Chain A
Amino acid sequence: MSGVHDMGGLECYGPIEYETDEKFHNDWERQVLAITLAMGATGTWNLDQSRFSRESLEPSDYLSIGYYRIWLKALESLLLQHELVTQHELETGRSYSEPKQVKRVLKATDVAAVLKKGGPVSREVSHEPRFSIGDVVRVKNIHTPKHTRLPSYIRNHVGIVHAIHGAHVYPDAHAQGLGEDPQWLYNIKFQASELFGVPRSQHDFTHADCWEPYLEIHHG
């Protein structure tokens, strides 16, 4: 979705407010992280659906409420969508309905082991990658109202296949609940001047990871 979360290449937000090493600014943020991970672990939705939920917030909220409030609002929206909580329950902070069954429950004693294991998204596929290292490719001019990890600043630009990462879960399909649909993932190297115009040094580059459906061979 073209939205305010897609900030690559924008310059309107002013200088970075540089912080040293704070992970949390308030104690409630620790709880939001814990609840978000615990609910993610139930398997009611996947990582890409939770990303899309964050991207679907009101733009003015997304830009102003801060990182963990974004997480919380997106989590509330997913809980409502999946009827795990009612609006009334959210507003009153009390449960009025029978707890619903979820697929899995992450027990406190298992958290460290589960987090250490991670959630790899690389997959084996039987077909060969369509592109090879060194191929000159154009990023397709795709505009979708759904979730994508194709940043707008590389759309319709030409780059070179720099590396092949293997096949990975395809977020565009996964976020729609269409299964993992693994696709080959490539690292694409763009000249800074190709993306951002001249004058940019001919020696500066930007790399971005792109799934195969984002790309086509450039006949230049």
Chain B
Amino acid sequence: MIDPASVLAEFGVELPENTRISVWDSTAEVRYLVIPMRPENTEHLSESELQNLINRNSMIGTALATPVDEATP
């Protein structure tokens, strides 16, 4: 993928200019599990509250987890 930052932008993900981007091309039968980056101010949250912050796209690397103040309970 020549321009991953632009592809992510097509998914609505705008990353800061200095973000390091690693593309993992699944060329064999090995599959990779994406662990979304933990949003700020989530240290006090329970497991089910944290689950609220993730979605399909954040688990495949095309979205960030939802920030706490934008989450719907």
Contact = CB atoms under 8 A, between A and B. Distances in A.
B67 interface: no
B11 A16 contact: yes
A191 to B, nearest CB: 11
Contacts of B29: 121, 168-169
B11 to A, nearest CB: 6
Interface residues of A, number: 29
B10 A9 contact: no
Contacts of A201: 20-21
A18 B2 contact: no
B11 A207 contact: no
A166 B26 CA distance: 16
Interface string A194-220: 001000010111111111000000000
Nearest to B4: A204
A150 B3 CA distance: 20
Nearest to B28: A209
> Chain B interface secondary structure, helix, strand, loop or mixed?
loop
Nearest to A20: B56
Contacts of A205: 21-23
A104 interface: no
B40 interface: no
Contacts of A165: 28, 30
Interface string B1-42: 111100100111000000011111111111000000000000
Contacts of A21: 56
A8 B1 contact: yes
20 contacts: A8-B1, A18-B11, A121-B28, A121-B29, A149-B28, A165-B30, A185-B28, A192-B21, A192-B23, A201-B20, A203-B21, A204-B4, A205-B21, A206-B23, A206-B24, A207-B23, A208-B27, A209-B26, A210-B27, A211-B28
Interface of B: 1-4, 7, 10-12, 20-30, 56
Q: Which are the 10 A-B pairs with shortest beta-carbon distances?
A: A209-B28, A208-B25, A206-B23, A203-B20, A205-B22, A207-B24, A196-B2, A121-B29, A209-B27, A204-B21
